[in-house]
Amino acid sequence: MRMDKKWSSAPRIFCSGFARSKPGLNKSILIIAAAFLVSLGLASGAEAAAPYRYGSMALSSPGEAWLWYRTLDVSEQGYRCQLEPLYCFEVSTSTLQYPVFLRDKKFDLNADGSLAVVKENGRNRLYDVRQDSLSELPINTSVYKALFTADNRKLVVITNARRALTVDLATNRVSRLLSSALQAGVTFPVLSGDGRYLSYYTSSGRRHHLVDLERDRAYSVSSRSNYWNLLSEETRLFDFSPDGKTLVYLDDRDGYPTLYQVEPAKLSGSSLAGRRIITRPYTVADFLVWESNKVFFIANREKPMEWNLYLYDLATKDLELVAENVSYGNMLRRSGNYLFFGKIGERGVEVAFYRPAEDQLGTLPAGLGYAAAKTEYTPLADANGALVLPPSGKTDTLVVWFHGGPYRQASPGYHSYPSYGGYNWILEGLRARGAAILKLDYPGSYGYGRVYAESLRGNIGKKDIAEVLAGIREAQAKTGATKTYLTGVSYGGYLSLKTLVEAPELFTGAISVNGVSNWYELLVGYPQGIFGVHFGGPPSARNMALYNAASVRQKAEDISNQKVLLMHSEKDTWVPYAQSRNMNQVLIDAGKNVEFVTLAGEDHVFEKGATLEEVCRRFFDFTGFAENGYCRLST
C-alpha cells in the first residue's frame, strides 16, 4: 500500500512485551492480505473511555503489522507497527482499507498485500499495489481463486472450470496445466510456499485433497457425515510448513476437530490419511505450521470453555502451553519471527504476539492488559456452562444467557466473537450490580465434539431443553436465587422462550433478541440450512411431530404472569422480523405480559452502537437493576 508521509511524524507508541519462563502444562501462565474484517468489526471494541473493544490484524507484511481496533460506538483505531525494533503508531483506519482501485472489484491478494489478481468477466490482470500498475495475465477464463507462491514468482490459478494452471510471472506464461480437473466444489484452497502442492476441501464426501502439481498426482481422504458438514464452519483446514515438506490438516472424522500430519513427498498410492497428531479428545480451533516440525494451535485442551495457545513439536512430540485465555475468533498470523493471535482481556480482545526464538509474549498498542486474570467461574455438574457470581458472592437474581448458533459456544468472560461481545458487556454490567450470570452451552454447541453437536438432530425443544433446565436448577440451588431471567439471541432467543413455556414456574421472565419462535414458518421459507437437517427437511406429515415438539406457540398459554420481552431487528436477514412480531401477537391474544421492541434499521448482527445501548437499557430495566449510565458506549 502507498506510504503516507504523515506517518513518519506520528508519535511512537511502544508495545508492551515481556520474556517468560516456560511453564509446564499444569501451570497457569489475521486476514493477512489487507483484509477489511467486516464480519469481526461489526460488533465490538472501545477507546479508553469506552467499555469494550475488539482488535484484529488488518495486514501483515515483512517487518510490519497493521492493526484495527473497533468499537460498536463507531470509534475505530488503526495502528501500524514496525517489528524490528518493536514500536507502533496510530494511523487513520482508512489506510487499512483496500487500495481505491480494488474496492469495487473481485480480486485475490498475495500474502503481504503487494500484488493482486483482479478478476473481471474472464479478463484477469495483475495489479501491483505499490506501483499502482496493471498488466494482463495469460488467462482468458473465469477464475475462482488465484494463489501466489511465497516468493511471488509464480501464480497458481483455479478456474471456475476446475482446472489448475501455473503462471510464471517473470515470463507471464502458463508453465504448467494439471491434466485432470479438480473435484467439484473446491473450498479452502491452500498452496505450498514453493508452488508444488495444492490442497483443498470438498463438502461432497467430506473430502480433503492434495495435488502434486509437478508430478500431476492427486491424493485424498474422505469421511462420512449424517449431519451438517461442521468442517464448513471452520476458518482454516490446511497449512504447509514454509519449506513445503509438511502439510497439516484439520478433520473431525475421529469425533473432534483435530490435526493430522502428512509429508507430501513421501506419499504413495492415493490416500491422504496422514498421522493423527493429537490423541486426546478436544477441539482444535485454529493452527499454523511454523516450521517442518513445529505447529502452533488453539484448543480447549484443559476445559471445554477455556481456549489456550499451544506449541507442538512433531519430532519430539513435546507439547508446550504458550498462552492462556486466547480468542479462537482471531486466526493465527505470522510475520517474520512474530506469531500474532487474539488475547481475551478484561474488556474485549487485544492483538497479542509471541516470538518463539526469544520466548517472548506481549501485546500491541493500547492493550487491554495482557496479564489480566481470567474470569473466575463455577462449572456445572449437570450441564455444560459457567456460573459467574457477583462481586459479593451472594445474590437473589440469576440471569441465564443462551448463545445463538447452535454451533457456537458461550464464554465465561468476553467472547472470542465480537458479535457476542456486546452481550457480554451487558451481562458484566448486571453481574457488577449484583446478578449471578449463568452462560449455558447446550446440545448442538461448539467445542464438545461431533457427537454432542449432532445430538440436537431430531431433538430441538427436547434434548436441549432438558439439559438447560438441569443446569438452571443446579445454578438456582447454588445461588439461592429467587428471581431467574432467561435471555438469549437468535437460537438462544428461541431457547429463552421455549425454556420459559416448558417450566414457567421456575422463571421471572424471558428476553428474546432476534429469536426464532416458529420453526414451521422459518423452514417453509428456508429448508436448506442446518435447521433443515435438524428437522429432517421442511414441514411434512413425516416430521410434523418434531415441529410440534419444538413449538413455543403451542404452549404459550402455560405462561402465567411472567414477563416476556421480544426485541427484533427490523431488517434481520437471518431470522425474519415477522418471527417476533407474530409471537408478540400470539402472547397479546393470550393475555400475557409481553412487550415488543423494534430495533429500527438493524440486521441480525448489530451495526450501530445506539442499538446496543438500547438493548442494554432494556436488559437492565427488565431485570430490575439501575444502569446509572452504564449503557453509554462512550463519553
Residue 47 forms part of a structural domain: yes
Residue-wise pLDDT tens digits, 246-274? 999 999 999 999 999 999 999 999 999 99
Instruction: For residues 457 and 460, give the distance between their C-alpha atoms in angstroms, rounded to a whole number.
Output: 7
Residue 217 forms part of a structural domain: no
Q: Is the same domain home to 476 and 537?
A: yes
Residue 220 forms part of a structural domain: no
524: left (phi over 0), alpha (psi -120 to 50) or beta: alpha
pTM of the model: 0.90
Q: How many CA atoms lie within 13 A of 119 on its CB side?
A: 15
For residue 391, give the C-alpha cell: 462481586
Q: Is the same domain home to 453 and 367?
A: no
- pLDDT tops 60 at residue 120: yes
Beta bridge partners of 159: 143
User: Which of these ranges, 26-35, 56-65, 268-277, 337-346, has the smallest mean pLDDT?
Assistant: 26-35
For residue 133, give the C-alpha cell: 500498475
Q: Is the same domain home to 570 and 450?
A: yes
Residues in Cβ contact with 42 at an 8 Å cutoff, skipping those fewer than 6 apart: 72, 418, 419, 605, 606, 607
- pLDDT tops 60 at residue 236: yes
Residue 134 forms part of a structural domain: no
Structural domain of 613: 378-623
Residue 55 forms part of a structural domain: yes
Instruction: Please tell me which of 17-26, 174-183, 314-323 the model is most confident about, judged by mean pLDDT.
Output: 314-323
Kindly report the backbone phi and psi dihedral angles of residue 77, in degrees, each rounded to the nearest multiple of 5, phi listed first. Answer: -135, 130
User: Which of these ranges, 186-200, 382-396, 515-529, has the smallest mean pLDDT?
Assistant: 515-529
**Which of these three, 328, 354, 374, is where a domain ends?**
374
Predicted confidence at residue 83, as pLDDT, reads 87
Q: Is the same domain home to 351 and 422?
A: no
Predicted confidence at residue 21, as pLDDT, reads 38
Q: Is the same domain home to 360 and 497?
A: no
- pLDDT tops 50 at residue 13: no
- pLDDT tops 70 at residue 12: no
Is the Cα torsion angle 557, 559, 565, 567 positive or negative in sign?
A: negative
Q: Is the same domain home to 357 and 388?
A: no
- pLDDT tops 50 at residue 15: no
Predicted confidence at residue 34, as pLDDT, reads 29
Q: Is the same domain home to 533 and 591?
A: yes
Predicted confidence at residue 398, as pLDDT, reads 98
Predicted confidence at residue 52, as pLDDT, reads 80
Higher pLDDT, 37 or 69: 69
Residue-wise pLDDT tens digits, 134-151? 999 999 999 999 999 999
**Which of these three, 374, 389, 424, is where a domain ends?**
374
Q: Is the same domain home to 353 and 454?
A: no
Residue 112 forms part of a structural domain: no
Mean pLDDT throughout 213-218? Answer: 94
Q: Is the same domain home to 604 and 507?
A: yes
Residue 113 forms part of a structural domain: no
- Name the band, by pLDDT with cuts 50, 70 and 90, for residue 91: confident
Nearest to 349 by CA among 29, 37, 32: 37
Kindly report the backbone phi and psi dihedral angles of residue 475, in degrees, each rounded to the nearest multiple of 5, phi listed first. Answer: -65, -40
- pLDDT tops 50 at residue 28: no
CB atoms within 10 A of CB 39: 12
Predicted confidence at residue 74, as pLDDT, reads 55
User: Between helices 418-432 and 609-623, what is the axis angle to 10°?
Assistant: 30
- Residue owning grid cell 471456475: 160
Predicted confidence at residue 369, as pLDDT, reads 52
Residue 213 forms part of a structural domain: no
- pLDDT tops 50 at residue 187: yes
Residue-wise pLDDT tens digits, 192-215? 999 999 999 999 889 999 999 999
Q: Is the same domain home to 358 and 423?
A: no
For the chain, the domain total comes to: 2
Q: Is the same domain home to 532 and 505?
A: yes
Instruction: For residues 349 and 193, give the distance between their C-alpha atoms in angstroms, rounded to a whole number.
Output: 31
Confirm if 563 and 508 have CB atoms less than 8 A apart. yes
Predicted confidence at residue 39, as pLDDT, reads 31
- pLDDT tops 50 at residue 371: no
Q: Is the same domain home to 362 and 466?
A: no
CATH of the domain at 484: 3.40.50.1820
Residue-wise pLDDT tens digits, 469-522? 999 999 999 999 999 999 999 999 999 999 999 999 999 999 999 999 999 999
Q: What is the dihedral of CA 6, 97, 68, 33, to 10 degrees?
A: -110
Query: E-strand spans in 160-245?
Result: 164-168, 173-177, 186-191, 197-202, 207-212, 217-222, 238-240
3-state secondary structure 26-42: CCCCCCCCCCCCHHHHC
Predicted confidence at residue 95, as pLDDT, reads 66
Mean pLDDT throughout 5-16? Answer: 33
